[in-house]
Structure 1
Amino acid sequence: MNGRRLWAIVLKELRQLRRDRITLAMVVGIPVAQLVLFGYAINTNLRGLDAGIADQAGTAGSRALVMDMLATGVVTPTVVADSPEPLMEQIRRGRISIGIVVPADFERRRIDGRQVAQVLVDGSDIAVQSAAAQLAQVPLDSAVPDTRAPLASTPPESRIGVVGFYNPQRRSAIHIVPGLVGVILTMTMVLFTAIAVVRERERGNMELLIATPLTRSELMVGKVLPYVAIGLVQTSVILALGTWLFHVPVRGSLLDVYLAAGLLILGNLALGLLISTRAQSQFQAMQMTFFVFLPSILLSGFMFPFAGMPRLAQWLAEVLPLTHFLRLIRGVMLRGAGLWEMWPDVLALCAFAALAMAIAILRFRKRLD
């Protein structure tokens, strides 16, 4: 082992790293991104969940109980209804996560020591079910004093019922498997197309493509279409295994599931092509793909609850296609909602795919430099 020759190799690698700006940025960017995301954006203590209120009693006591629930900070009222049915419809569409229902005979129930209110919960998200349990801990006696009937023997938590829909057993597989469709499609589709243009350049095929009459749009779209079929095959495999092994239900239309998956596939493929026009090598393309994949997993709501993130992190997550797909796939598979009922997320996926593809086509040049 010659120290002088060894030092020469070390210097060569350091100089090469200095010239490789993307790798140098990853050296610093990945630990900084993980530190910021885990320390600032990831929060399992949910606050401000969108909720609907149906106070059918309308008494001073029922209003006091609702105000005490809102005072916990777990929920934020966004919908007011006259009955539980509209709240259930809003939960099914994904507009709210929790519904608070106070029956018309609230005062009689309070005097008799029976259940005085119900909390309807979107059980497709286990974290929401855990947060909703805090509402059942609101002390009824302090919120609604009653000197006419002794209620000391009745535990406070038994007076407010929590009803979880779509996943009453709180099975984690039902929550995770639909999300895995999006995670796997994001990981594979972005990576496949991220190295597409770079691979053509490294293998010397770009010279042949330059000599053809293909336009930029034809070349980029032609590279995307085969992977759409591959993505749909992956979707079918995940759905089949999820149904067979974990008994994950598909309550909505199977066509809607594939349409949502198709939108995510197109968005991810367009994003991969955009990365491919920037990367100089397949290794750089994989590095940049990982830099996109990390925030998608952490901020989309797959691993950590979306509602627990600060507002800035939620704004960033809205840019990611996986965030919108998770809302669609869980809405269709677990709640039986239709895509047209969740049109904002459908529109967001379409806009992302169109914008990313347009930028990738504009950045691509049929030349070697």
Structure 2
Amino acid sequence: MKEIEDFINKGKIKGAIIIPSNFARKLYRNENSEVQLIIDGSDPTIARTALQSGILISKMYSIKRQEKSLEKKGVNSSTIGSVDMRTKVWFNPNLESTKFTIPALIGLIMQNITVMLTAFTLVREKEKGTIEQLIVTPIKSVELIIGKMIPYILIGSVDFLIALFFGTYWFNVAIQGNILLLIILGLGFVICALAVGMLISSIAKNQLQAMQMSLLFVLPSVLLSGFVFPREAMPFLIKHGGNIIPLTYFINILRGIILKGISIKYLWKDIYILLIFGIILLIIASIRFKKRLD
């Protein structure tokens, strides 16, 4: 059970079948034998498929076993022991789509707001002609970008708390894990998403171009991050294309803490990748802005 729990919390498996030690002995004695199917219910689409498949496999196994015994012994099928599949869905027993959608929706809202806000920051300065005033100041490009981000970090953090409040109390999606850890990681994602916006702002030449580039980043993330469709069912190239989107990892964090109640022990990989994304994006944005100053 410990191994099953670890693998499900890490996202390596979506279900497990537990076969008791007396399984074969009971079947040999023509007694009913029980097996248990445990399913990760955090994704209702996958969970429903696994549930239906598990029940179907159990029934087909029992039918084939009965047919085989009838052929050999010519006995009544009612005297043949069958397999009873007992299912147990973790984290979302009723397979409610709301519990799957709301945590991811919080992350999507946060990404869209923060990227859109910062995508126009430097571009607006260029169009208004105030960028020259920033050029003559002694501050470095990194300091300028961080300074521009600070107000939006505060705005994004407040928006995250508001979205979290409505998701919890309005849609009744209870937070099973550590809420303080969730808030800290949410702040980290806000910074990472703002870095994306800053990079767009440092590349774009005007606000229209910044808007188009923002949409070019935001729209694919809806489909490739696992927000709507399970990433496990995607084609190989498309699935791995979602690996370059920070929202993919934050959705794993949100669903892990809110639905599963897991700790940082199972989330360190997603946290590490988000941290690397944030640092790389800030460095590229700083370098790009410095080149434009030259």
Q: Once the two structures are superposed, what CA deviation does each residue of 1:129-148 show, in whole Å capped at 9, x if it has no partner?
A: 11202132111136656628
Which structure 2 segments of 5+ residues have no match? Answer: none
Which residues of 2 match residues 106-145 of structure 1 at below 5 A? 106-110=23-27, 111-114=30-33, 116-132=34-50, 133-138=52-57, 139-141=60-62, 144=65
Which residues of 2 match residues 297-312 of structure 1 at below 5 A? 297-312=222-237
Q: Please give the alpha-carbon distance, in whole angstroms, between the structure 2 residues aligned to 1:278 and 1:308.
A: 34
From the superposition, tell whether residues 153 and 211 of structure 1 become closer, same or farther in structure 2 (CA, over 3 Å). farther
Q: Once the two structures are superposed, what CA deviation does each residue of 1:151-189 show, in whole Å capped at 9, x if it has no partner?
A: 5699x8x73233111111111111111111110011111
The answer to whether the Cα contact below 8 Å between 1:267 and 1:350 also exists between their aligned partners in 2 is yes
Q: Once the two structures are superposed, what CA deviation does each residue of 1:82-135 show, in whole Å capped at 9, x if it has no partner?
A: xx3320232133332111211112135543234x32221110111121120213
Which residues of 2 match residues 1-369 of structure 1 at below 5 A? 84-110=1-27, 111-114=30-33, 116-132=34-50, 133-138=52-57, 139-141=60-62, 144=65, 147=69, 151=77, 159-365=84-290
Structure 1 letter corresponding to 2:150: L
Q: Please give the alpha-carbon distance, in whole angstroms, between the structure 1 residues aligned to 2:79 and 2:189.
A: 54
Structure 2 letter corresponding to 1:289: S
Q: Once the two structures are superposed, what CA deviation does each residue of 1:247-288 show, in whole Å capped at 9, x if it has no partner?
A: 111111011211221222121111111111111111111111
Which structure 1 segments of 5+ residues have no match? Answer: 1-83
Q: Please give the alpha-carbon distance, in whole angstroms, between the structure 2 residues aligned to 1:190 and 1:198.
A: 13
Task: State the TM-score, normalized to the length of structure 2.
Answer: 0.89
Q: Which moved more, 1:95-104 or 1:174-183?
A: 95-104
Q: Which moved more, 1:143-152 or 1:191-200?
A: 143-152
Structure 2 letter corresponding to 1:126: P
| Structure 1 segments of 4+ aligned residues over 4 angstroms from their partners | 142-146, 148-154, 366-369
The answer to whether the Cα contact below 8 Å between 2:192 and 2:246 also exists between their aligned partners in 1 is yes
Q: Please give the alpha-carbon distance, in whole angstroms, between the structure 2 residues aligned to 1:329 and 1:151.
A: 50
Q: Please give the alpha-carbon distance, in whole angstroms, between the structure 1 residues aligned to 2:263 and 2:165.
A: 21
SS in structure 1 opposite 2:175? coil
Q: Please give the alpha-carbon distance, in whole angstroms, between the structure 1 residues aligned to 2:64 and 2:3.
A: 26
* Sequence identity percentage: 34
Which one has the bigger helix percentage?
Answer: 2
Deviation at 1:215, TM superposition (A): 0.9
SS in structure 2 opposite 1:159? strand
SS in structure 2 opposite 1:303? coil
The answer to whether the Cα contact below 8 Å between 2:14 and 2:47 also exists between their aligned partners in 1 is no
The answer to whether the Cα contact below 8 Å between 1:210 and 1:367 also exists between their aligned partners in 2 is no
SS in structure 2 opposite 1:242? helix
SS in structure 2 opposite 1:180? helix
Q: Please give the alpha-carbon distance, in whole angstroms, between the structure 1 residues aligned to 2:225 and 2:243.
A: 8
SS in structure 2 opposite 1:250? coil
The answer to whether the Cα contact below 8 Å between 1:185 and 1:265 also exists between their aligned partners in 2 is yes
Q: Once the two structures are superposed, what CA deviation does each residue of 1:32-69 show, in whole Å capped at 9, x if it has no partner?
A: xxxxxxxxxxxxxxxxxxxxxxxxxxxxxxxxxxxxxx
